[in-house]
Amino acid sequence: MKVFWFILCLLLTFFDYAIGAKILAVFHAPSFSHYILGVKLLRAVAEKGHHVTMISPFPLKNPPKTWRDIVLEDLTKGFSFGNILNLVTMSSYRKEIMINAAGSELVQRVVTHPSFKNVINSNETFDLIVLERFMNEALLGLSHRFNAPYIVLSSTGYSRRTNEVVGNPGSTAYTPDLYLHYGYNMTLWQRFHNTFFYCFAMLHKHLVVLPKHRNILKETFPDAPSLEDLFYNTSLILLNAHVSVKYAVPSVPNMIDIGGFHVSPPKPLSEELKKYMDDASDGVIYFSLGSIFLSKDMAPEIRNTILRVFSKLKQKVVWKWEDENSTFSKPPNVRFEKWVSQQDILGKYRPDAGSWRKF
């Protein structure tokens, strides 16, 4: 009899793997750097035996057996993200308006995409919804559609966009807005400006942005409750932040720092690139515009200006340049690479500079 109970208890320990949860994840941003955060987390979950359905513009290579991709093909076809120079030089107010408008249009494209509609019109059930916090309020209707709790992952760490989701306090007196680029030791004028910009952003959100998302919500999920009821029902928010690199900020219990979780050990670089970087006695600058803005689409006058600046530097430069057939001349200290893993370069060499925001 004891043997029977022992075997029964042993079998019961395997039930978690046999009846893994069904998780629906939506990472709709057309940015691989955003996607990689979600896929790193959810791949680990799938490898534990849970069933993950990922809706995104990117298919996963070598997915686990319990992974299913719903690819949003041609999601950004005809969609303009604007000129990179405009983003750098435009005011914070204009940037807030432009990014919110782009976010609303992107969500509209998602909910009308045939692949997305197939999922929400199916008879499938899910136990959990995972969303990225990326100007996608209307997608909260998925929680009501599938009668499942939802959690949020933020690629930007702490900000007013994450604070408002869970009611986290963030005083404008000491918490600078991301778009203003102030440090945490703000002057009196900077604190006033920070507060004024926050008020502007909230007014724009409630008067312009949320009405658009309410319309999308009503059209996509007709019987869903109000956007406010859905918005403030977040169970958990995971933040791409870490105590070692952030300032002291308030944090409610369901805000969890997981910064660095996506970092993998660096893989070997090509022999040619490795030699180029090893021979850089004065260091290396790694320059990349990310996955949304492509260097090859840069206006020639901007490209030439950047190359002229790079030519005056003593460091070598590795520039992520997507067009292998470019014929224009470049300085001898600049090397183009169509694709190179940021983790492989940064993890091994610790270059002197980074992305377009740093530049």
185, 189, 190, 192 alpha-carbon torsion, rounded to 10°: 120
224 contacts 141 by C-beta, under 8 angstroms? yes
Q: What is the CATH number of the domain that holds 319?
A: 3.40.50.2000
pLDDT at 190: 95
Residues 62, 126, single domain; the answer is: yes
User: Does residue 219 lie in a domain region?
Assistant: yes
**Cα 352–chain centre separation:** 24
The burial of 107, by beta-carbon neighbours within 10 Å (0-12 exposed, 13-18 middle, 19 or more buried), is given as buried
In a domain, 10, yes or no: no
Among candidate residues 235, 22, 236, the one with its CA nearest the CA of residue 128: 22
Residue 59: exposure state from Cβ atoms within 10 A (0-12, 13-18, ≥19): exposed
Contacts (Cβ under 8 Å, ≥6 apart) of 209: 100, 103, 104, 135, 137
- Among 228, 257, 286, the domain-final residue is 257
Strands (E), the chain: 22-26, 51-56, 67-71, 128-132, 150-154, 236-239, 255-257, 284-287, 316-320, 334-337
Between CA 119 and CA 18 the distance in angstroms is 24
Q: How far apart are CA 155 and CA 35, in angstroms?
A: 9
Residue 111: its pLDDT value, please?
A: 95
305/238 same-domain check: no
In a domain, 24, yes or no: yes
262 part of a folded domain: no
Interatomic CA distance for residues 303 and 227, integer angstroms: 44
238: Cα separation from own chain's centroid: 12
- DSSP calls for 71-110: E-TTTTTT-----HHHHHHS-HHHHHHHHHHHHHHHHHHH
For 117, list phi and psi in degrees, rounded to 5: -65, -35
Buried b / exposed e across 190-222, counting CB within 10 Å, b at 16+?
ebebbeebbeebeeebeeebbebbeebbeebbe
359 residues of the chain, pLDDT tens digit each: 666 566 656 555 655 555 689 999 999 988 877 888 889 999 999 999 999 999 999 999 889 999 999 999 988 777 665 555 566 678 889 989 988 998 899 999 999 999 999 999 999 999 999 999 888 999 999 999 999 999 999 888 888 888 888 888 888 888 899 888 888 889 999 999 999 999 999 999 999 999 999 999 999 999 999 998 898 888 999 998 888 777 778 889 999 898 888 877 888 888 888 888 888 888 888 888 776 677 777 778 888 888 999 999 998 899 888 877 777 888 889 988 888 777 777 776 655 555 433 33
| pLDDT score recorded for residue 259 | 84
Query: What total of structural domains would you count in the chain?
Result: 2
Pair (153, 108) in one structural domain: yes
What are 34's two structure tokens? 């955003």
- 242 and 345 assigned to the same domain: no
From 257, 289, 321, give the residue that closes a domain.
257
48 with 116, same domain: the answer is yes
Q: Say whether both 209 and 124 belong to one domain.
A: yes
Q: Say how far apart CA 24 and CA 53 lie, in whole Å.
A: 5
Q: Please, what is the end-to-end C-alpha distance for the chain in angstroms?
A: 71
Judgement on whether residues 242 and 286 belong to the same structural domain of the protein: no
CA triple 237-240-243, angle to 5 deg: 100
State which residues form the domain around 284.
271-349
**Would 172 be classed as within a structural domain?**
yes
DSSP state of 37: H
CA distance 135 to 242: 23
| Residue 336 included in any domain | yes
231 shares its domain with 288: no
Domain boundary among 200, 227, 257: 257
Check whether residue 252 and residue 275 sit in a common domain.
Answer: no
Same domain, 253 and 328: no
Asked whether 152 and 236 are in contact (CB, 8 A), the reply is: yes
Res 356: pLDDT: 39
Residues 216 and 105 sit within 8 Å (Cβ to Cβ):
no
Judge whether 84 lies within some domain. Answer: yes
How far apart are the C-alpha atoms of 285 and 354, rounded to whole Å? Answer: 7
Question: Quick one: DSSP state of residue 114?
Answer: H
In a domain, 201, yes or no: yes
| Residue 359 confidence (pLDDT) | 35
Considering the domain architecture, whether residues 200 and 286 belong to the same structural domain is answered as: no
Are 198 and 280 contained in the same domain?
Answer: no
Helix 92-111 with 188-204: angle, nearest 10 deg: 30
